[in-house]
Every structure is written in structure tokens, then in C-alpha cells.
């Protein structure tokens, strides 16, 4: 349960509270069987001060104004982690026949402009693929930057971090992913957190079927290429033999299942589901299977064998061919082998969007550098966001770059990137930090002074503390810590404390006199996986 002072909201006017139950946090909210294997309906009565709007992940709600009491009822069985509450200075606007958006007053116009009419389009596309949307309403609430992940698929009421509003393509993908969860994850749920891919892999597959229907195959292939790049980056970081790269992860006693939220769950799971769809020959045949799967198992929890048995029973000709035992691509191997996916999708339909990225990257990294040719070859302002972040991620992978390259990159692109969204800017700033490019460091400071979100602060602090700029990071943190949620502040303190013996000198002239004293903790967070994993997971549960 996250309690926010008014200063941690956008409006700075009223306190705010929200819950985040995934994976096993709702045991601190109410007594429950906190496992996805158990589902039930629920009702709730919530009393709140006047002027505070309360919402829950429920199909029905009433409000008794004279008593200040809200009553909620979820008529369909859900696992404990999907019970969610939010309360604060929230107002709404309808954006479709069964959707409305909730946000703080200062954010509502932006939310309306980005989503009006869009959600119904996505819901209709999903229904055409996977059958009726069973939850009634599909509303969205935008939360302050303290929300610890990007988005959460709470039924009837998706939670999304407000910070993502400025990044249109990421917003589209994140909302469509949560829409997909209405079928895969919410209606049919993984019975154990050791098989989280049953929700995330299937939802990612469904998300990409929806984007293909609404935005075309090229856009879907571009987004997939971006995510698979991130998967391979995470694999390089963790090692191919790391047990967390299995789809069926063994959950040791005392381990928080949320620690298993990684790109293998999403992208390796997606690759397996995509492989199953390819065995059918036509993705529309696989859509038919998934509709039957949802109909059979809705409102229950399943294990992988339920999915795979249903698949083989739906396609008896595949069962006769023993596709589950095909050499090198055995279902059992997909589930229990460490390392990369056994097969990856053909993304050639996205070449019109990915090829320019590959060409530009090659121009900037081929020696000797022809900076004039590289600079004149592409206008980044005309690229899609996913093209730009794919390009920057690959530069980031190659960092540190030769000084002449980073200097020319800054001359060509730095001012253009300043006006782009935060998903793009943070990647450029990470390149600046990893290359110790001092002329653009002031932009890193400016970015961190204006960010309160975990996903836009942690990666930069990780990079600053890995290199030679830890004192610069400490200086910024002293100045900005009061605007950060205590949980985020603690995480950054842990990052800053790594390897400090003794504490490096701080330029105290840059710290305001009313900054409270801060004690850095000596311990390092056991859950920290490094900047790459934190940035690239960009988790939309």
C-alpha cells in the first residue's frame, strides 16, 4: 500500500494512495490466500474524506455522498493479486462506449487527447481474435510517478504510470498489453508464479496480434525487434546458464516471485507461443484455438500442461506428427532449458523500419568514421520512437565509443533529442554518462531534477555510479531527494552506497542549506540486477 503526500502528486494538492498486489503483496492489504491458484469474488466498503475519489478493480460500485462511503463488488472470481485500490484527486472523462480515463485534473486533457477512441478500437480488435470482453468496463487510471512499474492489468481498471503519457508508441503498446491481459492472465491465470510466462508470454503474443491488426505487421515487427534486442542484452548480462532464463523457473523458499519478472518471462514466453502458432500454419487457426482455450478455462488457473494438452487436442494432426517431441524443439526443452529461445519469429515484414536503423548504426560504428555521411543520411525527427530507441540502445551496447564518435553524435543529434520523449532522452543520456561526455552532463542533471519515476531515474544513477561520476550523482541526489518517494529514495541510496569506503567528497556549495542530512546505507540491494535489466524490462505486469 503506497501512501503519497501531496508533494508526490502532479497537482500537489491532495494526498494519494494506491495498492500494487502483483505478485504477493496483497497479503499486506487484506487477509487472503495470496496465490494465483485461488480465485474468488470480493466486495469492499471504503470510507474517504470529501474530495477524494476512490476506485477499485471491481465490476460494480456505488457512492453514498452523505456518508463518504464507496461500495465495490467484483462479481467474477479473481486471484488476490488483482484486487486493487486507488484514491486521490482524480477526475474522469469518457473515451469510448465502455471506457473512461481517470487522472489528476492537470493530466486529464493529455490523457484524453492520447486515448480518446483508441481503447475501443483495441478492445474490438481483441474481441475479434479471442472472443467477448467479459469484464464489462475497461477504464484506465493514471498514477503519479511513484507507481513502481509501468502498468498493471487490474480487471476493469488498468493502472498506468503517468510518466508514459509523453511517449506515444510506448503508451500504445503498454495499454494494448494490458488489454490482452483481460483474456490472458485475468480470465485464465497461471496457477503458480513459477509459470508466469503463461500470462506474460500469451499476453505479449496477443498484444502483437492486436497491433498487427490495428497498426500493421511492420510496426509489430519493429517493436518485437526492439524487445528481442533487449532480451539478448539481458541474457548477456545474466549469462545463458542462469536458471531465471527458464520458462518453468524453480521458485526457492523465501524468494519473492516478483524477482522473476524479467524479459524471459515475456519474450522467451512469446517466442514459444509464436512457435506454437507457426505449427498451425496460419495464425488465424491459432487464434481459434486460443478462443477455445479461454472459453474452457476462464475464471480458473492453469499450468503449462493444460495449455499444451489443449493445443494438441485441438490440432489432432499435430499430435499425430508428435510435434511436442520434434528434435531440438521439444516442448519440454522450451520449458526447462536455460538460455535464448529455441526459435525466434521471422521479422522480415518489419525491414522497412528496422533496416534504416541497422544502416545508420553501421555508418556511426564503421572505422574510419564518415561523420558527414552519417549525419546527412537520416532525419531522426521523422523516425518512429521504436526506431530511435533501437538505434540508441545499440549505441549504448557499444559504449564507451571513440571520443570522436560521441562528439559527432552529440553535434548531430543532441539538440534534436532534447525535444523528444523521455524514453528517447534517457537512452541518449545513458550514452552521455557511459562515455563520460562532459559537455552534455548538464542535461543529465536537468533530466534527474525533473524526474520522480523509478524507470527514468534508476538506470541513470546505476550508470553514474558504475563510472567516474559518482560524486556528480550524489550531488544531484542531495538536491532532489525530497521530491522522491521514500522507496525510490532508499533504492538510490543503496546504489550510491555501493563501493563507498569512505564516502566521496561532495560539493556542498551545490546543496541547499535546507537539505536534510542523509545517511547512506551500507548494504547493497540483493534484488538489484543492474541498469540494463531495470531499463529494459520496463515492466508492464
pLDDT tens, position by position, 155-198: 999 999 999 999 999 999 999 999 999 999 999 999 999 999 99
Same domain, 11 and 27: yes
Polymer length in residues for the chain: 541
The SS3 assignment for 384 reads coil
Determine the pLDDT at residue 508: 31
Residues 6+ apart with CB under 8 A from 413: 380, 428
Domain coverage including residue 409: 348-495
Note the Cα 330 to chain centre separation in Å. Answer: 30
Residue 526 lies inside a defined structural domain of this protein: no
Determine the pLDDT at residue 394: 97
Q: Is the pLDDT of residue 541 over 90?
A: no
Same domain, 328 and 356: no
Helix H or strand E segment including 312: helix 304-314
Total number of domains constituting the chain: 3
Instruction: Report whether 181 belongs to an annotated binding site.
Output: yes
Same domain, 134 and 246: no
Same domain, 318 and 419: no
What values do phi and psi take at 407, rounded to 5? -65, -45
What are the pLDDT digits (tens) for 88-134? 999 999 999 999 999 999 999 999 999 999 999 999 999 999 999 99
Determine the pLDDT at residue 500: 57
What are the pLDDT digits (tens) for 237-267? 999 999 999 999 998 888 889 888 899 999 9
Same domain, 139 and 55: yes
Cis before residue 388, ω within 30 degrees of 0?
A: no
Same domain, 197 and 88: no
Same domain, 124 and 220: no
Instruction: Report whether 92 belongs to an annotated binding site.
Output: no
Cα distance between residue 526 and residue 530, in whole Å: 11
What values do phi and psi take at 410, rounded to 5? -65, -45
**DSSP H helical ranges for 263-378:** 263, 269-279, 283-297, 304-314, 316-320, 331-336, 351-365, 371-377
Task: Find the catalytic residue in 153, 169, 178, 462.
Answer: 178
Task: Find the catalytic residue in 76, 138, 266, 293.
Answer: 266
Same domain, 226 and 305: yes
Cβ atoms of residues 179 and 75 within 8 Å = no
Instruction: Report whether 200 belongs to an annotated binding site.
Output: yes
Residues 6+ apart with CB under 8 A from 405: 364, 365, 369
What are the pLDDT digits (tens) for 71-93? 999 999 999 999 999 999 999 99
- 70: CATH: 3.30.2010.30
Determine the pLDDT at residue 198: 98
Q: Is 178 a catalytic residue?
A: yes
Last residue of a domain, one of 495, 511, 533: 495
Share of the chain above pLDDT 90, in %: 88
Q: Is 76 a catalytic residue?
A: no
Longest dimension (CA), the chain: 76
Amino acid at each position: 500500500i503506497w501512501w503519497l503526500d501531496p508533494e508526490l502528486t502532479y497537482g500537489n494538492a491532495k494526498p494519494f494512495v494506491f495498492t500494487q498486489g502483483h505478485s504477493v503483496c496483497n497479503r499486506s492489504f487484506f487477509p487472503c490466500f495470496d496465490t494465483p491458484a485461488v480465485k474468488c469474488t470480493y466486495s469492499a466498503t471504503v470510507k474517504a474524506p470529501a474530495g477524494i475519489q476512490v476506485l477499485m478493480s471491481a465490476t460494480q460500485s456505488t457512492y453514498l455522498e452523505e456518508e463518504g462511503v464507496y461500495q465495490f463488488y467484483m462479481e467474477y472470481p479473481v486471484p488476490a493479486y488483482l484486487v486493487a485500490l486507488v484514491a486521490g484527486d482524480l477526475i474522469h472523462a469518457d473515451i469510448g462506449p465502455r471506457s473512461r480515463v481517470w487522472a489528476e485534473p492537470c493530466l486529464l486533457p493529455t490523457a484524453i487527447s492520447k486515448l480518446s477512441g483508441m481503447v475501443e478500437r483495441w478492445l474490438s480488435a481483441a474481441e475479434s481474435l479471442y472472443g467477448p470482453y467479459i469484464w464489462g468496463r475497461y477504464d484506465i487510471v493514471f498514477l503519479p510517478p511513484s507507481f513502481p512499474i509501468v502498468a498493471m492489468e487490474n480487471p476493469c481498471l488498468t493502472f498506468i504510470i503517468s510518466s508514459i503519457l509523453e511517449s506515444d508508441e510506448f503508451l500504445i503498446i503498454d495499454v494494448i498489453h494490458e488489454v490482452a491481459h483481460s483474456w490472458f492472465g485475468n480470465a485464465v491465470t497461471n496457477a503458480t508464479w513459477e509459470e508466469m510466462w503463461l500470462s506474460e508470454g500469451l499476453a505479449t503474443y496477443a498484444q502483437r496480434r492486436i497491433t498487427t491488426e490495428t497498426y500493421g505487421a511492420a510496426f509489430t515487427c519493429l517493436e518485437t525487434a526492439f524487445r528481442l534486442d533487449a532480451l539478448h542484452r539481458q541474457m548477456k548480462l545474466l549469462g545463458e546458464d542462469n536458471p531465471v532464463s527458464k520458462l518453468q523457473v524453480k521458485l526457492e523458499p523465501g524468494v519473492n516471485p516478483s524477482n522473476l519478472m524479467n524479459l524471459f518471462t515475456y519474450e522467451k514466453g512469446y517466442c514459444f507461443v509464436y512457435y506454437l502458432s507457426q505449427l498451425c500454419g496460419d495464425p488465424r487457426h491459432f487464434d481459434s484455438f486460443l478462443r477455445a482455450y479461454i472459453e474452457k478455462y476462464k475464471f480458473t488457473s492453469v499450468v503449462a500442461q493444460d495449455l499444451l494438452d489443449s493445443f494438441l487436442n485441438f490440432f489432432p494432426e499435430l499430435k499425430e506428427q508428435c510435434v511436442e517431441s520434434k528434435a531440438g524443439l521439444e516442448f519440454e526443452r522450451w520449458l526447462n532449458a536455460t538460455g535464448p529461445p529455441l526459435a525466434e519469429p521471422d521479422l522480415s515484414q518489419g525491414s522497412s523500419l528496422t533496416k534504416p536503423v541497422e544502416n545508420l548504426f553501421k555508418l556511426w560504428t564503421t572505422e574510419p568514421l564518415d561523420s558527414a555521411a552519417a549525419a546527412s543520411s537520416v532525419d531522426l525527427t521523422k523516425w518512429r520512437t521504436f526506431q530511435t530507441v533501437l538505434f540508441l540502445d545499440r549505441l549504448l551496447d557499444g559504449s564507451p565509443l571513440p571520443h570522436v564518435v560521441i562528439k559527432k553524435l552529440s553535434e548531430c543529434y543532441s539538440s534534436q533529442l532534447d525535444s523528444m520523449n523521455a524514453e528517447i532522452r534517457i537512452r541518449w543520456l545513458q550514452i552521455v554518462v557511459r562515455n563520460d561526455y562532459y559537455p552534455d552532463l548538464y542535461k543529465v542533471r536537468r533530466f534527474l531534477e525533473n524526474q520522480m519515476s523509478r524507470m527514468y531515474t534508476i538506470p541513470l544513477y546505476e550508470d553514474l555510479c558504475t563510472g567516474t561520476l559518482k560524486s556528480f550523482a550524489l550531488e544531484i541526489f542531495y538536491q532532489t531527494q525530497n521530491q522522491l518517494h521514500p522507496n525510490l529514495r532508499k533504492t538510490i541510496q543503496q546504489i550510491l552506497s555501493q563501493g563507498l569506503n569512505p564516502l566521496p567528497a561532495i560539493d556542498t556549495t551545490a546543496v541547499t542549506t535546507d537539505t536534510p542530512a542523509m545517511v547512506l546505507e551500507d548494504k547493497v540491494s540483493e534484488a538489484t540486477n543492474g541498469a540494463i535489466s531495470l531499463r529494459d524490462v520496463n515492466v508492464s505486469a
